[in-house]
Structure 1
Amino acid sequence: MRCVIARFPFELTKAGVLESMKGVKPEPAVGDVVVIGRRQFPVKQVGEVVTRQDRRDFSAGEVVRAMTKLGFTCLTVPAEQPSDTTF
């Protein structure tokens, strides 16, 4: 599938993304994440690995759109709220 991320065209396939992410350790998942296999990766980490661009060069929305079109599940993981144990 052809997609444009950070104004650059990429020819991405689901198999290609799976191969690129093989052996990559997921960073802590907060905010938008992509489910690849049984693991959740932050979308910016996936975009950086797949496109080999700096993650500041593209938006999370661009990667979410591309991964969704390829058939990956994209979720939003809320940040954990600190528990207030004082009464």
Structure 2
Amino acid sequence: MKRHILVSEKSAAISAIAAALDFPEWFGQNLDALYDSLTDLSWLPAGEYVLVVPANLDPSVSQVLRDAAKLTAESGDRKVRVIRTER
């Protein structure tokens, strides 16, 4: 499943990612909760989840996405992949 994240500001990006991946209501809207949710995704079917993000995405959000993608690539049946756009 591919989802496009069109915002770059930190809180807006976190919210957009949460909406794109249908995070549970209890999601905490912060970087730690973002990482925890991205490395779990147990509420979604097994598979690969691709997030297309802008090149100017907030650096702290970008780091969380990189870390989560690395961890999920190494284990589990739900993978997160991140594609950065130039727009």
TM-score of the pair, normalised by structure 2: 0.29
Q: Greater relative contact order: 1 or 2 (C-alpha under 8 angstroms, separation 6 or more)?
A: 2
Q: Which has the higher helix share?
A: 2
Which has more radius of gyration?
Answer: 1
TM-score of the pair, normalised by structure 1: 0.29
Q: Which has the higher strand share?
A: 1
